[in-house]
Amino acid sequence: MPRPRYRHIVVEGPIGVGKTSLARRLAEHLQAELLLENAADNPFLPRFYQDPKRYALATQLHFLFDRARQVSQLAQGDLFRHSIVADFLLDKDRLFARLNLDSDEYALYRKVYDDLALQSPAPDLVIYLQAPLDKLRERVKRRGIDYEQGMSSDYLDRLAATYSEFFHHYDAAPVLMVNSEHLNFVSSADDFELLLERMDKMRGPREFFSRAA
């Protein structure tokens, strides 16, 4: 097994961009612990896509408490006996809250967030996956999760824009921004090797990686 340069890697990006698939592959390659946000375990998520206004707060709080539990494990340090690959960044939690909650709900969410006093260790590297809106919609449709199929293009577009703004200002860890439109890290060994090379050669706090069609 190669000696990992990064002990704590986070893969992030909007719905449909392939962050969980890449996180799984990286964890397998590095023989690392895998932390997933477990969206399928959130009982409010299918109802959120049917009625966002009614179920946004419950959905967001469920995710917050689940991530808080995982962050508490990180804070204990036990997981750092091995490398860690995660498909969520705790700081991103507030991104969804701002996007989906009204002002009163967001104030309540922030009170809960602040009361939890979450202390999440900064990752050694964030891989921020991007893709055009039409590619995101295609991937959401292809993976076939029922409650996601009614997701509007407007919501996906706003979500991608919010991610872009968030990572434009994010400076807590080095960020490798990856345009994944013409890359398939699951099916293509060559694409995956290219990514590993870029990770290894990364020297600055923010770099960009893409591949022409």
**Hey, which residues does 33 pair with through a beta bridge?**
84
Domain-embedded: residue 154: yes
> Which among 144, 164, 145, 123 is positioned nearest to 42, based on CA atoms?
145
d(CA 72, CA 50): 32
The more confident residue out of 162 and 72 is 162
2 pLDDT above the threshold of 50: no
The more confident residue out of 120 and 153 is 153
Domain-embedded: residue 102: yes
Would you state the structure tokens that stand for residue 40, as one six-digit string? Answer: 């399928």
Domain-embedded: residue 2: no
What is the average pLDDT across 41-53?
Answer: 92
Domain-embedded: residue 71: yes
**φ, ψ (nearest 5 deg) of residue 199:** -60, -45
Give the pLDDT score at 109: 94
Q: DSSP 3-state helix, strand, coil percentages of the chain (rounded to 5)?
A: 55, 10, 30
Domain-embedded: residue 188: yes
Q: What is the dihedral sign for C-alpha 183, 186, 190, 194?
A: positive
The rounded Cα 105 to chain-centroid distance in angstroms is 23
Which residues are catalytically annotated?
87
Q: 117-134 pLDDT, tens per residue?
A: 666 778 999 999 999 999
Domain-embedded: residue 125: yes
The rounded Cα 134 to chain-centroid distance in angstroms is 19
Q: 155-196 pLDDT, tens per residue?
A: 889 999 999 999 989 999 999 999 999 999 989 999 999 999
Cα separations (Å) of 94 from 132, 150, 161, 166, 207?
23, 24, 15, 10, 24
Domain-embedded: residue 136: yes
Domain-embedded: residue 3: no
Would you state the structure tokens that stand for residue 15, as one six-digit string? Answer: 């719905």
77 pLDDT above the threshold of 70: no
Determine the structural domain holding residue 55 and report its residue range.
Answer: 8-209
Give the pLDDT score at 110: 92
- Number of domains present in the structure of the chain: 1
Q: Helix/strand/coil (H, E, C) string of 148-213? A: HCCCCHHHHHHHHHHHHHHHHHCCCCCEEEEECCCCCCCCCHHHHHHHHHHHHHCCCCEEEECCCC
Average pLDDT, the chain: 88
The rounded Cα 154 to chain-centroid distance in angstroms is 20
Give the pLDDT score at 1: 44
Range from 28-32, 197-201, 209-213 carrying the lowest mean pLDDT: 209-213
What is the average pLDDT across 49-60?
Answer: 93
What's the CATH number where 174 sits? 3.40.50.300
